[in-house]
Amino acid sequence: MTAAERARFEEARRQWEERTLKPALAKSPDRPALFTDSADATAAFSTGTVDLTAAPATVFTASGIYPGDSGSQTVTVTNGGTGTLRYAMTTSATNADGLGLAAQLQLTITAGTCPGAGGPLYGAAALGSAAFGDPAQGAQAGDRTLAGAASEALCFAWSLPSTTGNAFQGAATTATFTFAAEQTANNP
């Protein structure tokens, strides 16, 4: 055996004695050894989910509309997650042609399937500023709640007032309705 091998052997023996012999020798000779046992218990954790969808993805495609025209579409908001969520909706609308159609079109949002049997959530007011609730964290006035795996219908109804003048001929706008959700658990 080489000197290096001998040194490794002695170090391993010293560590074994520290772990095994010293604790055994430290026991009082008048105190007997005891049988012992142990058991493990495990814990499993998984987080909940918040999964908001709105369908259909395209709420309206209305072209060739005239003053006095109107339409509606039921939008189904679904929580595909496991936890209760609260949500709000905001709108952004384009005005690329500078004619301001988003401010002229009127939108009403009510709870329920169209023609909207529930209470009003928005409007009738300008399409471009449509909103209910508040996407800021925490419970806000107007926020809606949905339990896990639940859905609700909202009726989106638009109209172009019969008083709309010639300045809006050929006008166009695109609106994006953004539904923002957050958990309600531990989030007052």
| Confidence check: pLDDT of 150 > 90 | yes
In the chain, what are the domain boundaries?
1-32, 52-164+174-183
| Confidence check: pLDDT of 1 > 90 | no
| Confidence check: pLDDT of 53 > 80 | yes
Which CATH code is given to the segment(s) 52-164+174-183? 2.60.40
* Burial degree of 154 (CB within 10 A; 0-12, 13-18, 19+): buried
Give the model's confidence band at 28: pLDDT under 50 very low, under 70 low, under 90 confident, else very high.
low
pLDDT number for residue 5? 83
pTM (2 d.p.): 0.78
Helix, strand, coil share (%) of the chain residues, nearest 5: 20, 30, 50
